[in-house]
């Protein structure tokens, strides 16, 4: 499904270069539930950002279902990302002025889906993440675990086959972490959604089907 070939990312090329990714090669198959691990600064976020089309590589290529991800204009990339990749972040990144339901509906609104259709889908998604009763709440009224569930529901809104999560459990207690992992594993198994999760969290590694270890911009282990 995803082929990563000789990926290099160098920041500050013209001053003091930082080699964040140093010739990374990897295949990620459909249906993987993969943890990307390694010490702070080893390149996990950079890797996820490039894999998700949020940033461009210095060199190298990523092929998703045979198509070169970064061979797109920036406007095509925005549409591609919106329709094909879900993102989950450490700080939830919900829009504070929108309710849980409106946060989930937002992408569908950009896609031009009808109000009725959006509402039905957002209710279905909030139910799938176990917070059907929180649709009218604003993010500040929700716990961290509940906010991250809204973020997962939002990531699912456009029916992506791939979800990228950057330290999704970093701010969650063990109960919320365990519940979130149950939800993500369930989506992985039931809907065959591929998950790639950058993490320091042993609890995530324990539930991953595959662990890819980075050090200093290189993959040192990928079982």
Taking the least distance from each CB to ligand ADP, the nearer of 69 and 157 is: 69
User: CA-CA-CA-CA torsion for 83, 88, 93, 96, nearest 10 degrees?
Assistant: 70
User: Which residues in 97-126 contact ligand ADP (CB under 6 A)?
Assistant: none
Taking the least distance from each CB to ligand ADP, the nearer of 6 and 117 is: 6
Q: Is 20 one of the binding residues for ligand ADP (CB under 6 A)?
A: yes
Sheet harboring 2-11: ordered strands across? 18-28, 2-11, 59-64, 67-68
User: Can you tell me the distance from the alpha carbon of 157 to that of 88, in angstroms, rounded to the nearest whole number?
Assistant: 12
Question: Using CB under 6 A, which of the segments 11-19, 60-68, 72-80, 184-192 binds ligand ADP?
Answer: 11-19
Q: In the numeric block, which tokens belong to residue 57? A: 């590589």
Beta bridge partners of 63: 3, 68
Taking the complex as a whole, how short is the minimal distance between the CB of residue 30 and ligand ADP, in angstroms? 25
Interface with ligand ADP (CB under 6 A), residue from 1, 8, 10, 18: 18
User: Which residues in 21-80 contact ligand ADP (CB under 6 A)?
Assistant: 38, 40-46
Per-residue mark of binding to ligand ADP, 171-210 (x: CB under 6 A): ----------------------------------------
User: Which residues in 159-178 contact ligand ADP (CB under 6 A)?
Assistant: 166-167
Taking the least distance from each CB to ligand ADP, the nearer of 33 and 47 is: 47
60, 61, 131, 159 from 172: Cα distances, Å: 35, 34, 16, 25
Q: Is 140 one of the binding residues for ligand ADP (CB under 6 A)?
A: no
99, 123, 129, 131, 185 from 147: Cα distances, Å: 11, 15, 11, 10, 18
Taking the complex as a whole, how short is the minimal distance between the CB of residue 3 and ligand ADP, in angstroms? 21
Q: Is 11 one of the binding residues for ligand ADP (CB under 6 A)?
A: yes
User: Can you tell me the distance from the alpha carbon of 176 to that of 192, in angstroms, rounded to the nearest whole number?
Assistant: 23
Residues 6+ apart with CB under 8 A from 106: 95, 98, 154, 157
User: Can you tell me the distance from the alpha carbon of 10 to that of 178, in angstroms, rounded to the nearest whole number?
Assistant: 36
Q: Where does this chain bind ligand ADP (CB under 6 A)?
A: 11-12, 18, 20, 38, 40-46, 166-167
């Amino acid at each position: 499904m995803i082929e990563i070939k000789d990926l290099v990312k160098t920041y500050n090329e013209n001053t003091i270069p930082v080699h964040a990714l140093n010739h990374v090669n990897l295949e990620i198959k459909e249906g993987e539930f993969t943890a990307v691990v390694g010490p702070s600064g080893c390149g996990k976020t950079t890797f996820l950002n490039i894999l998700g089309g949020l940033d461009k590589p210095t060199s190298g290529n990523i092929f998703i279902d045979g198509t070169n991800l970064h061979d797109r204009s920036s406007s095509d990339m925005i549409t591609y990302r919106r329709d094909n990749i879900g993102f989950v972040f450490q700080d939830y990144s919900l829009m504070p002025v929108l309710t849980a339901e409106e946060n989930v509906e937002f992408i569908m609104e950009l896609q031009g889906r009808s109000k009725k259709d959006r509402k039905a889908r957002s209710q279905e998604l909030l139910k799938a993440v176990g917070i059907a009763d929180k649709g009218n709440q604003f993010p500040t009224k929700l716990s961290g675990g509940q906010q991250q569930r809204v973020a997962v529901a939002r990531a699912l809104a456009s029916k992506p086959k791939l979800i990228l999560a950057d330290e999704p459990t970093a701010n969650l207690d063990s109960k919320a972490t365990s519940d979130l992992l149950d939800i993500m594993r369930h989506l992985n198994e039931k809907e065959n959604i591929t998950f790639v999760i950058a993490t320091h969290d042993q609890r995530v590694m324990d539930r991953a089907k595959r662990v890819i270890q980075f050090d200093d911009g290189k993959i040192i282990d990928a079982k």
